[in-house]
Chains A and B, each alone.
Chain A
Amino acid sequence: MTSEDSVLVQVQNLKKYFPIYKGLIVNKHVNDVKAVDDISFDVYKGETLGLVGETGCGKTTVGRTILHLYRPTSGKIIFGGINLADLGENEMRVMRRRMQMIFQDPYASLNPRMTVGSIISAPLDVHTSANRKEKQDQVQELLKIVGLNPDFVNRYPHEFSGGQRQRIGIARALALSPDLIICDEPISSLDVSIQAQVVNLLEELQERLGLTYIFIAHDLSMVRHISNRMVVMYLGKIMELADRNEIYLRPLHPYTQALMSAVPIPDPDKARNRQRILLEGDIPSPVNPPIGCNFNTRCPIATEECFKIDPEYRELTPKHFVACHHAEQFIK
């Protein structure tokens, strides 16, 4: 499914800092929350790239910065060969047609006072010159695609369950036939049996419409299920990037290894027999990340070097990137 030679999005040395100000009279810029700190990766056409990490690792900020909902502090987002930073407001609006987003909370991301029909046709109002009849047909078609009854156009969001609302969000994202959809934790607020429905729908739509996804979530098994390649983030940096099988069979970063071993396994025999790598402590604050490697406060194999030098993010084996001084020992 992935065609390796066609890159849709290039993220180059992306940084996003949120400034912290202090003082009432003299508003002094005292520090930054380093939400995303110098990351680079490519997204290929037609693939699903999974972004995983724990709370505060910057995964959502990456998604929003790619869409230029946040202006990057530095670094480039190149979408289909065009550097988004070079675009003016009007040009950017045209680009937005090609990239859409599905949000985490299906209760907060749909306007309760708008009908389903007007929610889904809102992008069409802004970006196309379709007339009323055309829009109506399109909305009904979109509802059918996401598995909802097309007669629901005049209903309001509160009449739907969480899973159905997420389908409405998907229909809205599909309205302009985008190339890229950023799915920001689209299933984490749904029940298990409903999660599978939504994930299956996303997979089916990708196959049918040739979509590219960036799938952001904290649930490692779900991300592995849906992705072709996976990015593991920690405290604003990429720790590891590799193919879904490669990263599972041969995780090179101690953080990825710990994350994998913490995933609950729905099988009593396997769950009881495995070795767990338990991480000590909590994630440090992104305002004052540790000196050297970001992971050094919790890393089981950290050495003196890790507390001094920030490890380089490098391609250790073909197409397998890792940022760790000691990753070599894990190449089997």
Chain B
Amino acid sequence: MEPLLSINNLKTRFHTEDGIVKAVNGVSYSMKVGEVLGVVGESGCGKSVHALSIMRLIQIPPGEIESGEIWFDGRDLLKLDNNDMRHVRGRDIAMVFQDPMSSLNPVYTVGFQICEALMLHKKMNKNEARHRAVELLTLVGIPEAKRRLDNYPHQFSGGMRQRAMIAMALSCEPKLLIADEPTTALDVTIQAQIINLVVKLQEELGMAVMWITHDLGIVAEMAHTINVMYAGYIIERGNVRDIYKRTLHPYTFGLLGSLPVIDEAPGTKLISIPGLPPDLIDLPKGCPFYVRCTYRVDQCKFELPPLMESESSQHTVACWRWQEIDGKGTK
């Protein structure tokens, strides 16, 4: 089957006074229809920038999509003109952002903002749109949806705002929902509600979901496939069990080790990764993880490891020494 989204050698740069920030450095992968992909990494690893590149929401300048192809539904999004792209955004690909307060417009009611998308993309009239908006708010679990439609964003709590954002994103039944750290600003019990909601909706509507997060715990539960990113590269990619149970990259291994687990035995020490991520303006010639890696050898310093297949073609890793790490990654 034809993949839904296929990214080929995407490179995104930002031109700043200090130099060129190499935010995304040749990312390639594809997503199937209805697949849930978790994109994991720390701040500055390029996970959000790569998603914004897909949506063509990178501000140019200072940003620049230097090269690459983003095939979605048989079209290269990078070659579309602005008008066509506007139809893709919201209708085919929708996005939910981290901070629901700053992504809702405070001077319009929630209802107006949901109806706007429906009227634009679905060519509904005002009444139809309002009717559909009530359905959508009910779907995402907002009580008294009809009355709530006329509320302004400040009258909603954080969890409800994020639900409203999700309702808005789902309004045109997108084929792909990109969720960029949608629960980071929320409390754990509310986070659990939102995760449950998205999983339920994904199964009902059959859309593909890209969930971007720094928390390996969240995506363990919902994702089919995981991309681990570091310094603008995908450094490991595989199905969810392989990533957690048969970790191949020392960085993924370190990330898992630095997370405390709720059922840990007393006296367990966290394994921290020493040092800091590299400066994206001045990336090393070899492996970007070289200075922090406990498995490093000279080859790593001079030669950038490409994303290579391990024993399974589904599980790829960018490390020269993955074979030595294989098998140690089970906790």
Shortest CB-to-CB span from B263 to chain A, Å, is 7
* B186-194, B202-210, B295-303: which lies at the interface: B186-194
The reply to whether B263 and A196 contact each other, CB–CB distance below 8 Å, is no
B276 lies within 8 A of chain A by Cβ? yes
B160 lies within 8 A of chain A by Cβ? yes
Shortest CB-to-CB span from A298 to chain B, Å, is 8
Q: How far, in angstroms, from A219 to B157 measured CA to CA in the complex?
A: 20
With a CB–CB cut-off of 8 A, which chain A residues contact B260?
199, 221-222, 224-225
With a CB–CB cut-off of 8 A, which chain A residues contact B262?
220-221, 224, 248, 260, 263, 265
Known: A191-B42, A264-B218, A268-B240. Is A54-B189 also a contact (CB below 8 A)? yes
The reply to whether A263 and B217 contact each other, CB–CB distance below 8 Å, is yes
Known: A260-B262, A279-B193. Is A199-B160 also a contact (CB below 8 A)? no
B61 lies within 8 A of chain A by Cβ? no
Nearest A residue (CB) for B190: A282
Mask, B242-266, CB within 8 Å of A = 1, is: 0011000000001111111111101
The reply to whether B193 and A267 contact each other, CB–CB distance below 8 Å, is no
Q: How far, in angstroms, from A218 to B214 measured CA to CA in the complex?
A: 16
Q: How far, in angstroms, from A118 to B255 measured CA to CA in the complex?
A: 35
Shortest CB-to-CB span from A317 to chain B, Å, is 19
The reply to whether B215 and A278 contact each other, CB–CB distance below 8 Å, is no
Nearest A residue (CB) for B183: A264
Q: How far, in angstroms, from A247 to B43 measured CA to CA in the complex?
A: 33
Known: A262-B189, A276-B196. Is A193-B254 also a contact (CB below 8 A)? yes
The reply to whether A196 and B244 contact each other, CB–CB distance below 8 Å, is no
Q: How far, in angstroms, from A304 to B102 measured CA to CA in the complex?
A: 40
Nearest A residue (CB) for B215: A264
The reply to whether A268 and B188 contact each other, CB–CB distance below 8 Å, is no
The reply to whether B214 and A192 contact each other, CB–CB distance below 8 Å, is yes
Known: A54-B189, A222-B260. Is A264-B221 also a contact (CB below 8 A)? yes
A2 lies within 8 A of chain B by Cβ? no
Give residues of chain B (255-293) contacting chain A, Cβ–Cβ below 8 Å: 255-264, 266, 268-274, 276
The reply to whether A218 and B187 contact each other, CB–CB distance below 8 Å, is yes
* Central interface residue in B190, B220, B262, by most chain A CB within 10 Å: B262
Q: How far, in angstroms, from A248 to B262 measured CA to CA in the complex?
A: 8
A245 lies within 8 A of chain B by Cβ? yes
With a CB–CB cut-off of 8 A, which chain B residues contact A200?
269-270, 272
B216 lies within 8 A of chain A by Cβ? yes
B241 lies within 8 A of chain A by Cβ? yes
B147 lies within 8 A of chain A by Cβ? no
Give residues of chain A (256-274) contacting chain B, Cβ–Cβ below 8 Å: 258-269, 271-272
With a CB–CB cut-off of 8 A, which chain A residues contact B331?
267
A244 lies within 8 A of chain B by Cβ? yes
Q: Which of B189, B261, B270 meets A266, CB within 8 Å?
A: B261
The reply to whether B270 and A282 contact each other, CB–CB distance below 8 Å, is no
A154 lies within 8 A of chain B by Cβ? no
A197 lies within 8 A of chain B by Cβ? yes
Q: How far, in angstroms, from A264 to B192 measured CA to CA in the complex?
A: 8
B329 lies within 8 A of chain A by Cβ? no
B100 lies within 8 A of chain A by Cβ? no
Q: Which of B220, B257, B269 meets A265, CB within 8 Å?
A: B220
Nearest A residue (CB) for B256: A266
Mask, A147-190, CB within 8 Å of B = 1, is: 00000000000000101000000000000000000000000000
A195 lies within 8 A of chain B by Cβ? yes
The reply to whether A262 and B258 contact each other, CB–CB distance below 8 Å, is no
Known: A191-B214, A192-B215. Is A262-B191 also a contact (CB below 8 A)? yes
Give residues of chain A (286-326) contacting chain B, Cβ–Cβ below 8 Å: none
The reply to whether B266 and A244 contact each other, CB–CB distance below 8 Å, is yes
Give residues of chain B (94-143) contacting chain A, Cβ–Cβ below 8 Å: none
The reply to whether B259 and A262 contact each other, CB–CB distance below 8 Å, is no
B182 lies within 8 A of chain A by Cβ? no
The reply to whether B272 and A196 contact each other, CB–CB distance below 8 Å, is yes
With a CB–CB cut-off of 8 A, which chain A residues contact B187?
54-55, 218, 283
Q: How far, in angstroms, from A98 to B331 measured CA to CA in the complex?
A: 40
Q: How far, in angstroms, from A195 to B42 measured CA to CA in the complex?
A: 11
Known: A221-B262, A262-B188. Is A267-B244 also a contact (CB below 8 A)? yes
B159 lies within 8 A of chain A by Cβ? yes
Q: Which of B42, B193, B270, B271 meets A225, CB within 8 Å?
A: B270
Known: A264-B220, A282-B159. Is A197-B274 also a contact (CB below 8 A)? yes
With a CB–CB cut-off of 8 A, which chain B residues contact A264?
191, 215, 217-218, 220-221
* Central interface residue in B158, B216, B258, B273, by most chain A CB within 10 Å: B258
With a CB–CB cut-off of 8 A, which chain A residues contact B274?
197
Given contacts A161-B276, A264-B191, 13 further A-B contacts (CB under 8 A): A221-B260, A224-B260, A225-B268, A225-B270, A262-B192, A263-B188, A265-B220, A268-B245, A269-B245, A271-B221, A278-B193, A279-B192, A282-B190
Report 22 cross-chain contacts, Cβ distance below 8 Å, ordered by A residue: A54-B190, A161-B276, A192-B42, A192-B259, A193-B258, A196-B257, A196-B273, A197-B274, A219-B188, A221-B262, A224-B264, A245-B266, A258-B189, A262-B188, A262-B192, A264-B215, A265-B217, A267-B220, A272-B221, A278-B192, A278-B196, A282-B160
